[in-house]
Amino acid sequence: MSKKLRIGIIGSGGIAQGCHMKGYASMPDLCEMVAVCDVNPETAKTAADKYEVKKTYTDYRTMLAEAELDAVSVATPNAYHMQPTIDALAAGVHVLCEKPLAMNADESRKMCAAARESGKILQVALQQRFTGQARFMKQFIDGGNMGDIYYARAQALRRRGVPAWGVFIDKEKQGGGPLIDIGVHILDFTLFLMGYPKPVSASGKTWDTLGKNPDLVNPWGEYDRAKFTVEDFAVGLIKFDNGSVVVLESSFMANLDGDPFQTQLFGTKAGAIVKGWGESPIEIFTEQNRQLFNMKPTNIPQVESAHVDEVKAFVDAILHDKPSPVPGENGLILNAIFDALYRSSETGKEESVDISY
Ligand SMILES: NC(=O)c1ccc[n+]([C@@H]2O[C@H](COP(=O)([O-])OP(=O)(O)OC[C@H]3O[C@@H](n4cnc5c(N)ncnc54)[C@H](O)[C@@H]3O)[C@@H](O)[C@H]2O)c1
């Protein structure tokens, strides 16, 4: 290859330094981080120093105008995903944007339209698809071994896990609570395994009583209960045009045992529980010759970092003219489902899900 990809970072806080920059740094022959931007100059400097990036900016527009970039990671808080993404795409720059794609489906629509117009890649940073479990299960399901998956129960539940840093409890900057923050991962994982059916309607309910209660312990850090404007628990039932249904549960705080992050798939030939982590993260339930089996696979691919692999997939797609490994349209579907669930919690009714753009 004659030229390395020139990479810029927009928002260089926790996830940028811990995952995106680590990913780019793992491919020194293919790409070079040439500029880092953060509205906080100290954060930009810390990130740049850590990865030996020469140039820092506090305004991403200046960076886009000056740095001659091929691609950027957008790793800002959710409220600041849309504009930098649209501006980068309009400047002919590929974008790897953090999850959720946007605050809501209207923003996602604009981002998908900008990608379509520019012909550049828009990838959503949903790294669960790059785990060993996802790779194993995708192959198993695509081989027809589960039959039709008609129902799934997806859970991203924390007993006491309110992120006390950043803006995770601020609805204005995040768009929502656990549903949009961690529910997004398990729902994407589940829909990815189900072949991303088209959602048609959703009904749900959210609560915020525990998150606002100052008497409850939060081992993830102290936070101002008066500033807790997101939900602490959400449940949703989502219907798809192929007749399948997903029930999604997500919490920052709930009275339960442990912090389950898993999906349970129900197919006509087999069922499965797939966990986000643990010694034996996949268990498959099936019947052969009127005998019932529980199976634990022993050759699940070992993946060192799903985050790094998602960045590698982004770079590979750019270099080899491949479609987006996690298309913006999937991010739009997730946002449209969350919009419908939040709406349903207010109206008390089942709401339609619109994924057009
Ligand atoms: N994929 C995952 O597993 C995962 C994990 C954590 C966070 N995230 C996502 O990453 C995003 C950032 O989260 P974080 O934990 O890194 O937060 P963070 O607060 O550590 O970092 C965000 C950075 O963006 C900067 N910023 C804000 N507005 C900006 C702007 N307009 N231009 C440039 N910089 C700006 C902030 O100063 C901050 O340094 C969120 O969307 C979050 O949902 C994803």
Does 9 share its domain with 77? yes
Using CA positions, which residue lies closest to atom 27 of ligand 1? Answer: 76
Q: Count Cα atoms within 13 angstroms, Cβ side, for 31.
A: 30
Instruction: Give domain status of residue 92, yes or no.
Output: yes
Are residues 144 and 93 both part of a single domain? no
pLDDT of residue 101: 98
Give the residue, out of 10, 22, 38, with the most ligand 1 atoms within 8 A of its beta carbon, to mutate for a pocket test: 38
Indicate whether 355 belongs to any domain.
no
CATH of residue 245's domain is 3.30.360.10
Mean pLDDT of the chain, nearest integer? 97
Residues with CB under 6 A from ligand 1: 10-16, 37-40, 43, 60, 75-78, 80, 98-99, 125, 127, 166, 181
Regarding whether 281 and 315 lie in a shared domain, the answer is no
Across the chain, the runs of DSSP E, i.e. the strands, are 5-10, 31-37, 55-57, 71-74, 94-98, 122-125, 149-157, 199-207, 233-240, 245-251, 261-267, 270-275, 282-288, 291-295, 351-352
Q: Are strands 245-251 and 261-267 parallel, antiparallel or unpaired?
A: unpaired
Residues 270 and 175 in one domain: yes
CA distances (Å), origin 204, targets 236, 254, 350: 4, 17, 8
Q: How many domains does the chain have?
A: 2
| CA 276 to chain CA mean position, Å | 13
Nearest C-alpha to atom 25 of ligand 1 is from which residue? 11
Domain interval for residue 226: 132-302
Is 262 a member of any domain? yes
- Residue 238 and residue 101 in one domain: no
Question: Is residue 277 domain-resident?
Answer: yes
Q: Residue 136 and residue 284: Cα distance in Å, rounded?
A: 12
Residues 198 and 282 in one domain: yes
Task: For residue range 66-122, list pLDDT tens digits in order.
Answer: 999 999 999 999 999 999 999 999 999 999 999 999 999 999 999 999 999 999 999
The tens digit of pLDDT for each residue in 199-213 reads 999 999 999 999 999
18 and 112 together in one domain: yes
Question: Does 249 lie in the same domain as 150?
Answer: yes
Residues 150 and 109 occupy one common structural domain: no
Mean per-residue pLDDT for 129-139? 97
In a shared domain, residues 289 and 145 = yes
Ligand 1, pocket-test mutation among 36, 56, 64, 76, most atoms within 8 A of CB: 76
**For position 87, which CATH number holds?**
3.40.50.720
352 belongs to a structural domain: no
